[in-house]
């Protein structure tokens, strides 16, 4: 039995300890915004926040996050989540959209630590998240845009 907190909700799960967090979230909890892309931490589609840190859920055994706070794209709500979604919408970032939950979670972790990142910091934080549609120039702009939005206003 593993105790998991996902998006603020506690779950008691009957699951082998080495199953990757990704599949527990997607198949057992049926929260499907977090995506499978590579299974080897190479593409970032599975990115979630674990205690605020961007984490590749496809290579993270579920036992490692027991007792920690896991946030998926569905749980990224007011404040930063709203700013990111607004910025992503204004820049019309998504195309196929499959990688975008992972992109947004990686951006959330970046802005959580570095509220006003420069291009080099964006490169460093975001280059592990692949997008086959090539939305990178817009992702970069959207992160700058989200950073410029007044947190007080959108988080009130």
Chain residues that interact with other proteins, rule: CB under 8 A: 16, 19-20, 23, 26-28, 30-40, 42-43, 45, 72-74, 84-85, 88-89, 92, 94-101, 104, 122-124, 126-140
Q: Three-class SS of residue 115?
A: coil
Q: Three-class SS of residue 53?
A: strand
| Nearer Cβ to other proteins (66/86) | 86
CB 79 to other proteins: min, Å: 14
| Nearer Cβ to other proteins (45/111) | 45
- The sheet with strand 2-6 has its strands ordered as 9-13, 2-6, 69-71, 47-50, 53-56
Beta bridge partners, 50, equal 53, 70
CB 131 to other proteins: min, Å: 7
Q: Give CA–CA dist 38/25, Å, rounded.
A: 16
CB 18 to other proteins: min, Å: 9
């Amino acid at each position: 039995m593993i105790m998991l907190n996902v998006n603020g909700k506690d779950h008691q799960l009957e699951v082998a300890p080495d199953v990757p967090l990704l599949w527990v979230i997607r198949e057992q909890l049926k929260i499907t915004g977090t995506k499978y892309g590579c299974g080897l931490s190479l593409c970032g589609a599975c990115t979630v926040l674990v205690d605020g840190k961007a984490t590749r859920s496809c290579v993270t055994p579920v036992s490692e996050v027991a007792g920690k706070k896991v946030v998926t794209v569905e749980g990224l709500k007011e404040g930063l989540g709203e700013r990111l979604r607004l910025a992503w919408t204004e820049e019309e970032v998504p195309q196929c959209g499959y990688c975008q939950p992972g992109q947004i979670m990686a951006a959330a972790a970046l802005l959580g630590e570095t509220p006003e990142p420069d291009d080099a910091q964006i490169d460093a934080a975001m280059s592990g998240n692949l997008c086959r549609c090539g939305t990178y120039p817009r992702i970069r702009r959207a992160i700058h845009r989200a950073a410029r939005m007044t947190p007080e206003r959108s988080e009130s």
